[in-house]
A and B are shown apart, each in its own frame.
Chain A
Amino acid sequence: MTDPLRREVEQALTRIIDPETGRDLVAMGLIYGIEVAGDRVQVTMTTTTRGCPLTAMLKHGVEAAVAALPGVAQAEVTLTWEPPWTPARMAPPG
């Protein structure tokens, strides 16, 4: 069974859009992992290219969105470019 907090984290991330495509971070395939341990949440994410000028802002935005959820005491976001993002990671248009 999926942790309700994990579901809420995922929901929060679907409310953050990639400003270039208008699609959310989950649909873009930018979220590589969500770990929930009690009231601590760790999100592992990437960007469409390693030198993306939005990298820092996306990281802070995800941190802020997750930290604002009820029941979250600590939100940590880790960036990784391994494996690198490719357009194949995008969900089909819904």
Chain B
Amino acid sequence: MAWFASAILFLIAALGLMVAGAAGPAHWENGRALAVVHLFALGWLGQMMLGALLQFAPVLVARPLALPALALPALLMSTLGVLLLAAGFLALDGWEGGILLLEAGPVLLAGAFACGGAMLGGTLVAAGGWRGSEARVVLAGLAGLVLVWASGAGMVLDLTGNGPGQLIEALPLHVAVGVGGWLGLAAFGVSYKLFAMFLLAPDGDSAQRRAGFVLALVALSLVLGGLTAVLTALSARLAVIGVAVAALAAAVLYLADIRRLWTIRRRPQPEVNMQMSRAALAFLVLVCGLLPFAAAWGGRWAEAAVFAALVGWLSTLTLAQMIKIVSFLTWIQYFAPRIGKAKVPVVQDLTNAGAARRWLWLWTLGALCGTMALLAEMPLLFRLASLALLAAAIGLAAEAVAIRRLSHLSPDARPTRVPVILPPLAERRPRNDPMQA
């Protein structure tokens, strides 16, 4: 939950800077814009994904989290690393003090990702996770995280004058592996399981899933090949095209697999988190439509595709599931000990579904307008869209706090102990936890 709180603060900071005009159509290469992008991609989405995976990896493989003591150092290094990197980008706008921060950011992020990788990789690999159709996609996502860090750190070396000079050519691959290889694959892996659980659909492997995984491995290999080409001063253009084709095919197969889960579900009326996840998936369809143009022409097409992916698909999905996960973890914290001993509310009772739905719709409207503004190169519309996104983010953050405080429960249904906003960083399991067996 501390990861979620930190991530939400990064989200609000990034959107506030967007409203202030720090980034916009055709303005993504100055220092302020790069700071916004990294506050959003690393601070918001990256921390949410790592925090969610720390909760979810044990569910995927029915095994307790490995090395849970690393959670706090990982969070601290990640938070500080993102802040230093974002501030360091201001060196590109002429702030000389930023150079040192720009150099320090990737070092701290390496520490954070190493800790995260040790916990998640340790949990998934020790349980033979590569055999599971969900866990192996998350493992591939962790490989993507290594590549996004390596390519980013290489570009920082160039920007600070310590590199060979051509590493900036890796930018398309860095963006592709950050959005698709790390965040996208992790979202695929988690949603296979989460969607099946929330929809009451039979989970398990499928032909689409296996083919999609192979394509994801092909895309990651092409990123590695492209980065090697850049290092040796060769063109990575072919690799970029290949990554786009493989990613597009993998995304189409993923969408087909999720459609299959949706049609065989046993839950006739999905809750708000799943209803709004459909809007997130609609953005993924939009990304698939934009991707060929982005790969061929770059420019505003690439800006719109990346925005639709980060803000439309991944953030809508994350925000919708965040409301559910916060409710579920809060329920466990306060009501699980009362199972079989007293009447307990259901998880949905902790959420104001109507309010969450309204904020999520505002978010999707902002994401759509922002994508259109980038395509049409309309800075004012982009700032208005950012304002809608900021309002929605604050509304959803307030809803998450209300859930934590059990505000939507009637007084007689609340436990006597006053809830706290943040629980302990690493949850302890009972000594006779069957998952330890």
Distance (Å) between the CB of B94 and the closest chain A CB?
Answer: 50
Are A19 and B346 closer than 8 Å at their CB atoms?
yes
Q: Which residue of A lies closest to B435 (CB)?
A: A55
Chain A residues engaging chain B, CB cutoff 8 angstroms: 16-17, 19-22, 48-65, 68, 79, 86-88, 90
With a cutoff of 8 Å between Cβ atoms, the chain B residues found around residue A58 in the complex are: 339
Indicate if B376 sits at the interface (CB-CB under 8 A): no
With a cutoff of 8 Å between Cβ atoms, the chain A residues found around residue B203 in the complex are: 49
Indicate if B63 sits at the interface (CB-CB under 8 A): yes
Given contacts A50-B62, A62-B340, contact A79 B266 (CB under 8 A): no
Q: Which residue of A lies closest to B201 (CB)?
A: A87
Are B340 and A63 closer than 8 Å at their CB atoms?
yes
- Ordered nearest first, which 4 A-B pairs have the shortest CB separation? A61-B339, A61-B340, A65-B340, A51-B62
Cβ-defined partner of A48 (8 Å) among B60, B197, B347: B197
Indicate if B28 sits at the interface (CB-CB under 8 A): no
With a cutoff of 8 Å between Cβ atoms, the chain A residues found around residue B61 in the complex are: 51
Indicate if B58 sits at the interface (CB-CB under 8 A): yes
Are B339 and A16 closer than 8 Å at their CB atoms?
yes
Distance of A58 Cα from B335 Cα, bound (Å): 11
With a cutoff of 8 Å between Cβ atoms, the chain A residues found around residue B429 in the complex are: 56
Distance (Å) between the CB of B341 and the closest chain A CB?
Answer: 5
Interface residues of B in 419-437 (CB under 8 A from A): 429-430, 432-435
Distance (Å) between the CB of B165 and the closest chain A CB?
Answer: 48
With a cutoff of 8 Å between Cβ atoms, the chain A residues found around residue B328 in the complex are: 20, 53
Cβ-defined partner of B344 (8 Å) among A17, A55, A90: A17
Indicate if B73 sits at the interface (CB-CB under 8 A): no
With a cutoff of 8 Å between Cβ atoms, the chain A residues found around residue B335 in the complex are: 19
Indicate if B157 sits at the interface (CB-CB under 8 A): no
Are B59 and A49 closer than 8 Å at their CB atoms?
yes
Distance of A38 Cα from B173 Cα, bound (Å): 69
Are B59 and A52 closer than 8 Å at their CB atoms?
yes
Are A56 and B432 closer than 8 Å at their CB atoms?
yes
Given contacts A51-B61, A61-B341, A90-B266, contact A56 B433 (CB under 8 A): yes
Are A86 and B202 closer than 8 Å at their CB atoms?
yes
Given contacts A20-B346, A90-B266, contact A53 B59 (CB under 8 A): yes
Given contacts A49-B197, A51-B63, contact A57 B336 (CB under 8 A): yes
Cβ-defined partner of A56 (8 Å) among B338, B341, B345, B435: B435
With a cutoff of 8 Å between Cβ atoms, the chain A residues found around residue B344 in the complex are: 17, 19
Distance of A88 Cα from B265 Cα, bound (Å): 10
Indicate if B234 sits at the interface (CB-CB under 8 A): no
Are A55 and B434 closer than 8 Å at their CB atoms?
yes
With a cutoff of 8 Å between Cβ atoms, the chain B residues found around residue A87 in the complex are: 200-202, 265-266
Indicate if B331 sits at the interface (CB-CB under 8 A): yes
With a cutoff of 8 Å between Cβ atoms, the chain A residues found around residue B201 in the complex are: 87
Indicate if B415 sits at the interface (CB-CB under 8 A): no
With a cutoff of 8 Å between Cβ atoms, the chain B residues found around residue A59 in the complex are: 434
Interface residues of B in 194-252 (CB under 8 A from A): 197-198, 200-203
Indicate if B128 sits at the interface (CB-CB under 8 A): no
Indicate if B97 sits at the interface (CB-CB under 8 A): no
Indicate if B337 sits at the interface (CB-CB under 8 A): yes
Interface residues of B in 339-375 (CB under 8 A from A): 339-341, 344-348
